[in-house]
Amino acid sequence: RPPHLGIDAGFVRELTSQLRWRNRNLLMLAQSFLPNLLSEMLLRSVAHKAALQLPLMQGRSGCVAMVHCSGFIELTAQLEQHSNGAALLTKRINRFYTNVIDTAMAYHGDVVRFCANTLFVFFEAVDHPSSFNNSCGSLSCRHTAQELACVRAAACCLELHKNLRAETCQEEGGLSLQIGVGAGAVEAFLVHGCPTTETATANKYTVMGPPLEQASLAEKLAGAGE
């Protein structure tokens, strides 16, 4: 409160500073569970304010991969024949998504959205061309940061297909991936959501832009393993 209401201004500044650092420390602990884009927006916000001011928006350029997995219904039908089918299904799903997320992170991808059995992975255009030589396999070929993001996205998608084929050969029940890729500028938003209770509101994080539309259209055209 202002000083004229009887509260010392120095106390207010100290309290604000403590709240800001408490929020920052909490975000640092939670970063493993948040998309990088969302973490950056929140950290930038608490660096200037003690209270989160919504909406937040952040623009980025890069490549988006829409990774859709099919075969869970068939896999469930097969595993339910076992006495421990539920445990086997849970183990299989956990291993599948762990592999997808770990592979995406290995190629500097950021999982920005889950939607049922579909993941959206964003590959930001941040690589400096001078740091990568012959990245496409051609000698003396230089690429922009946007092109390098597309190379990383394509390589990641191929690796996902390869890993899934290797796993399917060893496991009962086959899963398949259909992947669409789009490139360009995206906007990440954190906005107020609908109230979940009388006193609580769930904020909504989403990513929009032409690359997501491109990836969605491409995924619909992709067959199993494409």
* pLDDT tens, residue by residue, 8-24: 555 445 545 555 566 66
- For the stretch 167-193, pLDDT in tens is 665 555 577 889 999 999 988 877 766
Task: Tell me the pairing of strands 56-70 and 109-115.
Answer: unpaired
- For the stretch 196-211, pLDDT in tens is 555 555 667 778 889 9
**Distance in angstroms (rounded) separating the CA atoms of residues 208 and 188:** 6
Check: pTM over 0.75? Answer yes or no: no
Q: What three-state secondary structure class fits 8?
A: coil
40, pLDDT greater than 50:
yes
- For the stretch 69-117, pLDDT in tens is 888 778 778 877 888 878 888 888 888 888 888 999 889 888 888 887 8
pLDDT of residue 16: 53
**Distance in angstroms (rounded) separating the CA atoms of residues 96 and 78:** 17
Per the CATH hierarchy, to which homologous superfamily does domain 35-221 belong?
A: Nucleotide cyclase, GGDEF domain (3.30.70.1230)
Residue 48 pLDDT level (bands cut at 50, 70, 90): low
**Distance in angstroms (rounded) separating the CA atoms of residues 103 and 101:** 5
Q: What three-state secondary structure class fits 119?
A: strand
pLDDT: is 37 or 101 the higher one? 101
The predicted model gives 40-57 an average pLDDT of 64
At 209, the amino acid letter reads G
Low-confidence winner among 72-81, 90-99, 123-132, 139-148 (lowest mean pLDDT): 123-132
**DSSP 8-state class, residue 31:** G
**Distance in angstroms (rounded) separating the CA atoms of residues 208 and 204:** 13
**Distance in angstroms (rounded) separating the CA atoms of residues 152 and 122:** 10
pLDDT of residue 189: 79
User: Helical H runs in the chain?
Assistant: 9-30, 36-46, 72-79, 85-106, 145-168, 210-221
pLDDT of residue 180: 93
pLDDT of residue 117: 84
On the 0-12 / 13-18 / 19+ scale of CB atoms within 10 A, 72 is: middle
The answer to whether the CB of 115 falls within 8 A of the CB of 57 is: no
**Distance in angstroms (rounded) separating the CA atoms of residues 14 and 29:** 23
Domains of the chain, by residue range, sit at 35-221
